[in-house]
Amino acid sequence: MLDEPRGRNERVWDVVSCIPAGRVATYKQIAALAGIEGPSGPRQVGYALAALPSSSQVPWHRVINIRGQISRRSAAGGEGRQADRLILEGVQIGMQGKIDLAAYGWDSE
């Protein structure tokens, strides 16, 4: 039996699983690495991360928006949980909620 191509969610989860602790990547960067083309790619990454099972070990908290900020969540407290996890990994979050992508951005190459 031939292996079926991996679905969008699984491709996103695979890429996000490669981000090392103390680093962040943007939704746009993950979309490109997961082969999700077009302007809706970053949004599709968000959908894939939202579909993670609660028991997942995928480090979803390491994905931020293109402005270097944590994106709003529909669930209450999601942004705070994400910030707490990043801080525990040594990522500094500025006063305006901004993360320095030059300092903490993941170089996937």
What local confidence, expressed as pLDDT, does residue 2 receive? 43
How long, in residues, is the chain? 109
The single residue listed with the structure tokens 């999700």 is 36
Exposure letters 62-89 (e unless 16+ CB within 10 A, then b): bbbeeebebbeeeeeebeeebbeebeeb
What local confidence, expressed as pLDDT, does residue 79 receive? 75
pLDDT by residue for the chain (109 residues), tens digit each? 344 456 999 999 999 999 999 999 999 999 999 999 999 999 999 999 999 998 999 999 999 999 999 988 766 656 788 999 999 999 999 988 999 999 999 998 7
Angle, helix 8-16 to helix 41-50, in steps of 10 degrees: 80
What local confidence, expressed as pLDDT, does residue 4 receive? 45
What local confidence, expressed as pLDDT, does residue 74 receive? 65
Q: State the Cα torsion 22-14-58-12 to the nearest 10°.
A: 100
H-helix or E-strand containing 26? strand 25-26
What local confidence, expressed as pLDDT, does residue 43 receive? 95
Contact at 8 Å (CB) between 99 and 106? no
What local confidence, expressed as pLDDT, does residue 88 receive? 97
What local confidence, expressed as pLDDT, does residue 72 receive? 80
What local confidence, expressed as pLDDT, does residue 75 receive? 66
